[in-house]
């Protein structure tokens, strides 16, 4: 495996150090308080649910934004002529060597033909602002084209997958495959499409099947992926690759619920060995009994080991536990309803409605839900939410004519990268962002948001953090046991604790004084039936850090 990707796998997804004044998993109460001394991106007070206006409404008392790119204004720097196109969708931050300060931002364009732009990003620590150091355009011509590049996913090995939400007919290059309706893996370092069979020509992910795919979620086992089809079969799929980090061949399954109200289901194999099979996945999935979930969109891994997915047609967020060839615990976790939104100065009921689209979890287990339909809100569902005792917050309302799309976070969860898609050209309101730019939402905009202390020169935090080389966790992800290495630069107080995602202490690996040196501690949690995320909270003298680690099935 390429050393670059190994570093990404180890550090980028699960082992990012979180610099924070209080580096611990917040309680739900704290996360919702919006208190200025909190440092988590999910710590805010809801905005007033007034619906769309000419600009975005977000918790500006605690958070700020910085514009990174805008349709028709951001110019390509790789020799490609022209400016970045519109309909910005999936906005994927892929870190360089696990860094939360340097990476690639891959932006899908849900257009016909489609496209992907890649921004080379660097956080300037002197100004506390992000710099765009290059803008590149992915060349899809070797594959004829892509169409309506909607959502996608980031692989554990550091690539990005863009998905085509289209079922248009056509085989312009006569290779036996329909041209569009697939998924494509891109190396963000080179902006090149992956060639799986080594014939010098890039390939789409034919074995995953042709359908109106919304996104893809890739497991840390590097072979299992989940997808959903928005329209067509309206099914939820699982693909198990034949070998790790190679999604070009494998077995495709579709989820069949045992009955309309059952909490259990079965993964049924979908034929995908021939070109004819692969071209007709949506029809074959329905024929073998795949359940129609009414336009499912995003599928995501939850911190509780469950899978979460949306039903855009009903406005429901579902979840289930994958038990291998069967699933259990199918539950409508968030359903259309009127929910109370408490904002500064009052509260009112807001209709959840339909159209829930993109999903993503932050480091505290909050689920960020982006809405394409209804009032096009950006909601946050707290970890202790239940249908009987709802816990939801409203983070953002969107400009007239638009929806928010494609949210992903930096590995330390300080920065969220997101786009505003197809706002009205009649929007004229402007405001000044953290970099001093005048932002106007009259075209597609991609921006980064964070709590104020992490974005903007005047908001730089006076926080001491553990240097990245003072702590390491390996292996990560792990199965039974992992090791936590701590380097103590000088004699003093050291604390190493492990917490679950709700902030409960799982283990104390060390607490006391140590001489200067390097120390290693073993962590072996109790066996679990599914993937489990933990937080390793470390203090070395006055420096604090939290590292996110993942235990996977043995």
**Same domain for 371 and 506?**
no
* Dihedral over Cα of 47, 452, 367, 528: its sign: negative
Please determine, for residue 464, whether its predicted confidence score (pLDDT) is greater than 70: no
pLDDT in tens, 246-287: 999 999 999 999 999 999 999 999 999 999 999 999 999 999
Please determine, for residue 549, whether its predicted confidence score (pLDDT) is greater than 50: yes
Q: Please, are residues 263 and 329 in contact by the beta-carbon 8 Å criterion?
A: yes
Reported as a pLDDT band with limits 50, 70 and 90, residue 554 is low
Question: How many C-beta atoms surround the C-beta of residue 536 within 10 A?
Answer: 27
User: How many whole angstroms separate alpha carbon 268 and alpha carbon 293?
Assistant: 16
Among 21-30, 307-316, 425-434, 467-476, the minimum mean pLDDT is found in: 21-30
**Same domain for 480 and 336?**
no
Looking at 439, 459, 479, the residue that finishes a domain is 459
Reported as a pLDDT band with limits 50, 70 and 90, residue 31 is very low
CATH number, residue 539: 2.60.40.1930
Q: What is the domain extent for residue 265?
A: 3-459
C-alpha neighbours within 13 Å on the C-beta side of residue 489: 11
pLDDT at position 53: 96
**Same domain for 422 and 496?**
no
**Same domain for 420 and 520?**
no
**85 Rama sector, left if φ>0, alpha if ψ -120 to 50, beta otherwise:** beta
**Same domain for 284 and 336?**
yes
**Same domain for 411 and 432?**
yes
Calculated CA dihedral for residues 216, 219, 220, 222, nearest 10 degrees:
-80
pLDDT in tens, 371-391: 999 999 999 999 999 999 999
User: How many whole angstroms separate alpha carbon 75 and alpha carbon 325?
Assistant: 48
Looking at 405, 429, 459, the residue that finishes a domain is 459
Q: Please, are residues 483 and 474 in contact by the beta-carbon 8 Å criterion?
A: yes
**Same domain for 306 and 268?**
yes
pLDDT at position 540: 84
Among 104-118, 182-196, 476-490, the minimum mean pLDDT is found in: 476-490
pLDDT at position 499: 82
Q: Which helix (H) or strand (E) holds 107?
A: strand 102-109
Q: What is the mean pLDDT of the chain?
A: 89
**Same domain for 410 and 439?**
yes
Domain total for the chain? 2
Looking at 412, 440, 459, the residue that finishes a domain is 459
Question: How many C-beta atoms surround the C-beta of residue 1 within 10 A?
Answer: 10
pLDDT at position 34: 41
State CA 135 to chain mean position distance.
21
Residue 4, classified by CB atoms within 10 Å of its CB into exposed (0-12), middle (13-18) or buried (19+), is middle
Reported as a pLDDT band with limits 50, 70 and 90, residue 13 is very low
pLDDT in tens, 64-115: 999 999 999 999 999 898 999 999 999 999 999 999 999 999 999 999 999 9
**Same domain for 451 and 547?**
no
pLDDT in tens, 187-246: 999 999 999 989 999 999 999 999 999 899 999 999 999 999 999 999 999 999 999 999
**Same domain for 381 and 502?**
no
Average pLDDT of the residues in 298-308: 96
Reported as a pLDDT band with limits 50, 70 and 90, residue 428 is very high
**Same domain for 392 and 366?**
yes
Average pLDDT of the residues in 324-353: 96
pLDDT at position 449: 98
* Dihedral over Cα of 214, 219, 220, 224: its sign: negative
CATH number, residue 374: 2.120.10.30
User: How many whole angstroms separate alpha carbon 331 and alpha carbon 89?
Assistant: 28
Q: For a pLDDT cut of 70, what percent of the chain falls above it? A: 89
CB within 8 A of 6, min separation 6: which ones?
A: none
**Same domain for 410 and 476?**
no
Question: The tokens of 99 are what?
Answer: 């860094």
């Amino acid at each position: 495996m390429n050393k670059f990707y190994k570093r990404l796998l180890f550090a980028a997804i699960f082992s990012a150090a979180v610099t924070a004044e209080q580096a611990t998993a917040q309680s739900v109460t704290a996360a919702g308080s919006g208190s200025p001394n909190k440092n988590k991106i999910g710590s805010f007070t809801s905005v007033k649910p007034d619906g769309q206006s000419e600009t975005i409404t977000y918790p500006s008392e605690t958070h700020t934004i910085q514009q990174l790119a805008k349709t028709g204004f951001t110019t390509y720097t790789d020799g490609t002529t022209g400016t970045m196109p519109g309909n910005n969708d999936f906005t994927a931050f892929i870190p360089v060597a696990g860094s939360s300060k340097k990476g690639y931002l891959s932006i899908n364009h849900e257009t016909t033909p489609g496209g992907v732009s890649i921004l080379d990003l660097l956080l300037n620590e002197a100004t506390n602002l992000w710099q765009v150091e290059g803008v590149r355009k992915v060349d899809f011509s070797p594959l004829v084209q892509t169409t309506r590049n909607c959502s996608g996913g980031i692989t554990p090995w550091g690539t990005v997958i863009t998905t085509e939400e289209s079922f248009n007919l056509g085989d312009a290059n006569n290779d036996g495959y329909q041209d569009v309706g697939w998924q494509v893996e891109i190396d963000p370092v080179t902006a090149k499409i992956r060639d799986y069979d080594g014939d010098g020509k890039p390939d789409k992910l034919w074995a995953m099947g042709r359908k109106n795919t919304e996104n893809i979620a890739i497991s840390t086992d590097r072979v299992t992926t989940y997808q959903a089809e928005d329209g067509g079969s309206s099914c939820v799929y699982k693909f198990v690759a034949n070998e790790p980090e190679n999604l070009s061949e494998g077995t495709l399954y579709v989820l069949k619920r045992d009955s309309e109200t059952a909490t259990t289901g079965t993964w049924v194999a979908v034929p995908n060995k021939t070109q004819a099979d692969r071209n007709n996945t949506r029809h074959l999935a329905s024929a073998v009994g795949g359940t129609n979930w009414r336009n499912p969109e995003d599928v995501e891994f939850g911190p509780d080991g469950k899978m979460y997915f949306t039903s855009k047609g009903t406005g429901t967020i579902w979840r289930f536990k994958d038990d291998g060839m069967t699933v259990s615990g199918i539950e409508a976790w968030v359903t259309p309803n009127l929910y109370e939104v408490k904002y500064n100065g009052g509260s009112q009921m807001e209709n959840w409605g339909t159209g829930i689209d993109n999903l993503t979890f932050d480091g505290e287990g909050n689920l960020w839900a982006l809405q394409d339909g209804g009032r096009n809100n950006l909601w946050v569902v707290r970890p202790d939410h239940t249908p009987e005792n709802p816990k939801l917050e409203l983070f953002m309302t969107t400009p007239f004519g638009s929806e928010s799309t494609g949210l992903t976070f930096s590995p330390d969860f300080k920065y969220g990268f997101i786009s505003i898609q197809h706002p009205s050209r009649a929007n004229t309101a402007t405001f000044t962002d953290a970099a001093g730019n005048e932002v106007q939402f009259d075209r597609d905009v991609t921006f980064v948001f964070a709590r104020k202390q992490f974005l903007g020169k005047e908001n730089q935090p006076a926080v001491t953090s553990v240097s990245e080389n003072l702590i390491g966790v390996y292996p990560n992800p792990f199965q039974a046991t992992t090791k936590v290495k701590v380097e103590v630069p000088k004699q003093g107080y050291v604390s190493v604790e492990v917490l679950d995602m709700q902030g409960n202490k799982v283990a104390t690996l060390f607490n006391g004084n140590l001489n200067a040196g390097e120390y290693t501690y073993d962590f072996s949690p109790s066996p679990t039936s599914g993937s489990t995320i933990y937080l390793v909270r470390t203090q070395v003298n006055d420096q604090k850090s939290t590292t996110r680690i993942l235990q996977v099935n043995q």
